[in-house]
Amino acid sequence: MNLCVFCGSSSGHNGVYSDAANDLAKLIGENNHALVYGGGNIGLMGVLADGVLLNGGKVTGVIPEFLVQKEVAHKNLTSLEVVSSMHERKQRMADISDAFIALPGGWGTLDELAEILTWHQLGLVKKPIGLLNTNSYFDFLIRQIELMVTEGFLPKETRNKLQVHKNPKELLTMLGVDFVK
């Protein structure tokens, strides 16, 4: 299974985020799944990619040319696809992935998550989507989503398509990911 993970190009101020990325990476690698991600070698992106590779998994990075020029492309991946734009990056990651997970991150992570949720709502993508709510990072976002439902801007059935858990293995189970270990 190709698991697309959106996450930060920073590791944050609390080591719990890198720990969660490592836990997820171990589950992906040890269970013969593959990671699809933004192709960076920094922050949680680098932690996640290195962890999957360390645990025997395959990693495909998809990165726009301008980020390669900034020297943030991971050089040791199974596959690195260089694309022309951020939009092309998101489209390519969606095309080659079977499920999506968001870890903590900044604007880029929120952008990727919002776009895949929108595509899902519009029926353009029919793959499971989850939030790894490490250290309650997404609590306020989840409350905002609930407000969107309450105020009539988001159908409840659309909200219910987003799976949320604080434990990586539980979240993967909710997304239908199989385990060999």
pLDDT digits (tens, 9 = 90+) for 60-112: 999 999 999 988 899 999 999 999 999 999 999 999 999 999 999 999 999 99
Tell me whether residue 59 is in a domain: yes
Tell me whether residue 181 is in a domain: no
Q: How far is residue 168's CA from residue 133's CA, in Å, rounded to a whole number?
A: 9
Question: C-alpha 106: how far from its chain's center?
Answer: 12
Tell me whether residue 23 is in a domain: yes
Tell me whether residue 63 is in a domain: yes
Tell me whether residue 74 is in a domain: yes
Domain hosting residue 103, numbered range: 2-171
pLDDT at residue 181 in the model: 66
Q: How far is CA 65 from CA 39, 45, 85, 87, 179, in A?
A: 11, 17, 7, 12, 35
pLDDT at residue 180 in the model: 82
pLDDT at residue 71 in the model: 84
The number of domains in the chain is 1
Tell me whether residue 19 is in a domain: yes
Tell me whether residue 176 is in a domain: no
Q: How far is residue 48's CA from residue 94's CA, in Å, rounded to a whole number?
A: 18
Q: How far is residue 120's CA from residue 91's CA, in Å, rounded to a whole number?
A: 13
Ranges of residues in the chain whose predicted pLDDT is under 50:
none
CATH code: domain of residue 155: 3.40.50.450
Q: How far is residue 37's CA from residue 3's CA, in Å, rounded to a whole number?
A: 8
Please, what's the largest Cα pairwise distance for the chain?
47
Q: How far is CA 76 from CA 10, 54, 71, 114, in A?
A: 19, 11, 13, 29
β strands within 84-174, DSSP E: 99-102, 129-132, 162-165
The model's pTM is: 0.95
Q: Can you tell me which residue has the tokens 């593959």? A: 34
How many Cβ atoms are within 10 Å of 53's Cβ, its own excluded?
A: 18
- The backbone torsions φ and ψ at residue 138, rounded to the nearest 5 degrees and listed phi first, read -95, 10
- Rg over alpha carbons for the chain, rounded to the nearest Å, is 15
